[in-house]
A = this chain, B = another copy of it.
Amino acid sequence: MDTITAIATRTSIRNFSGEEVSDPVIEKLLHAAMAAPSAMNAQPWEFVVVEDRDVLKKIAEHPALYASMTEKASVGILVCEDTEKSYKNFGAQDCAAATQNLLLAAHSLELGAVWTGIDDEQAKLFCDWFSLPAQIVPHIFVPIGIAAEDPVPKKKFDPEKLHYESF
């Protein structure tokens, strides 16, 4: 899929068919994620790949996570920052760039995915469930699967958000 088209037509998918996504495809997504830029090329990201259906169900059912779509996802990818590797306080932005690559790659491969942000309270659950070491901070959880919906992408271009030469 053409890049400009992929960017324009990607949208959050929250209903999945439950079908499997093959391991080579999942690896393609992770290659795309790690191709992102990072501050001082620190590449401070770490990824936990979750395919265990019981664990996906646990994530889906926890009331604090608002991630019920995970129940029928094929895989969930937890994007984490290694705070011992990140430069200044740019680690969360680096993880966000990697996640955007991952979402675009998924869309271009005709998969559905959705970015779910992780706040400090929610992070404690992921740290516990996935035995994250103290320096590893989970920032984003991405359920991925075969889309069982076909929503129209939101129109978000807003010329009022553009400022020329000065705000």
Residues of A within 8 A of B (CB): 1-4, 6-8, 10, 12, 28, 30-32, 34-37, 39, 41, 43, 45-52, 55, 80, 87-90, 92-97, 99-101, 103-105, 107-109, 115, 117, 119, 130-133, 136, 139-140, 153-154, 156-158, 161-167
Contact B95 A93 (CB under 8 A): yes
Q: How far is the CB of A29 from chain B (nearest CB, A)?
A: 10
- Can you give 13 A-B contacts (C-beta < 8 A)? A2-B108, A30-B162, A34-B161, A37-B115, A43-B158, A45-B161, A46-B163, A48-B165, A93-B93, A93-B96, A97-B99, A97-B100, A131-B167
Copies, count: 2
Q: Which B residue's beta carbon lies closest to that of A97?
A: B100
Q: How far is the CB of A103 from chain B (nearest CB, A)?
A: 7
